[in-house]
Amino acid sequence: MNIASICGTASTLYLDGYEALYTVTPTTTGTYAINYAGQTWSSIWVFSGACPASGGICQGSVSSSTATQSLVVTMTAGVQYWILFDTFPTPISPCPGTFSISASTVPVPVVASDCNQAVNVCTNINFQIDPNGSGSVYEIPPLGSYGNPDYGLFSLVPPYYNPWGTTNDGCLRAGELNSTWMVVNVLTGGSLTFTFGGLGTQTGFYDWIMYPYSATACAQVAANTLAPVRCNWNGVATGGTGLATTLPAGGNATNFEPPLNVAAGSRWLICFSNWSSVTTAVPLQFGGTAVVSCSPLPVELLAFEATVNGSRVSLDWVTASESNSSHFDVERSVDLEGWEKVDMVEAMGSAHLQTGYASTDHTPLANLSYYRLRMVDLDGSFSFSPVRAVRMIEDALVCHPNPTNGSFTVLDVPEGATIEVLDMLGRTVAADVRMDPLRKARVELNSPLPGLYTVRMGHGASVAMTKVLVAEK
What are phi and psi for residue 221, nearest 5 degrees? -60, -50
Q: How far is CA 306 from the centre of its chain?
A: 18
In one-letter notation, the amino acid at residue 23 is T
Q: What is the DSSP letter of 13?
A: G
Report the distance separating Cα 266 and Cα 276, nearest Å: 31
Q: What is the pLDDT of residue 396?
A: 63
Give the angle subtended at the CA of 187 by the CAs of 222 and 193, to the nearest 5°.
Answer: 70
Q: How far is CA 217 from the centre of its chain?
A: 10
Residues in the chain: 473
Q: What is the pLDDT of residue 107?
A: 47
What are phi and psi for residue 53, nearest 5 degrees? -85, 0
What are the Cα distances from residue 143, in Å, to 149, 154, 194, 343, 361?
Answer: 6, 12, 25, 48, 46
Is residue 435 classed exposed, middle or buried when 0-12, 13-18 and 19+ CB atoms within 10 A define those classes?
middle
Q: What is the DSSP letter of 220?
A: H
Report the distance separating Cα 38 and Cα 117, nearest Å: 27
Q: What CATH code is assigned to 299-391?
A: 2.60.40.10
Task: Name the H helices within 231-360.
Answer: none
Q: What is the DSSP letter of 9?
A: S
Q: What is the pLDDT of residue 64?
A: 74
**Which tens digits make up the pLDDT trace of 276-315?**
988 888 889 898 988 887 765 567 787 899 888 767 888 9
Whose CA is closest to 165, among 288, 271, 256? 256
**pTM of the entire predicted model:** 0.48
Whose CA is closest to 343, among 361, 369, 321? 361
What are phi and psi for residue 39, nearest 5 degrees? -85, 155
32, 26 in Cβ contact below 8 A? yes
Report the distance separating Cα 301 and Cα 356, nearest Å: 10
471, 326 in Cβ contact below 8 A? no
In one-letter notation, the amino acid at residue 283 is P
Report the distance separating Cα 393 and Cα 391, nearest Å: 6
CATH topology of domain 395-470: Immunoglobulin-like (2.60.40)
How many Å is the maximal CA-CA distance in the chain?
A: 94
Map out the domains of the chain as residue ranges: 12-106, 115-292, 299-391, 395-470
Q: With a cut of 50, which residues of the chain have pLDDT below it?
A: 105-109
**Same CATH topology for 115-292 and 395-470?**
no
Q: What is the DSSP letter of 14?
A: G
Q: What is the pLDDT of residue 109?
A: 45
Report the distance separating Cα 64 and Cα 10, nearest Å: 8
Q: b vs e for 352-363, b when ≥16 Cβ sit within 10 Å of the residue's Cβ?
A: beebebebebee
CATH topology of domain 115-292: Jelly Rolls (2.60.120)
**Which tens digits make up the pLDDT trace of 391-444?**
776 556 789 998 999 999 999 888 888 899 988 777 889 999 998 888 899 999
What are the Cα distances from residue 93, in Å, to 38, 42, 89, 264, 405?
Answer: 10, 9, 8, 39, 83
CATH topology of domain 12-106: Jelly Rolls (2.60.120)
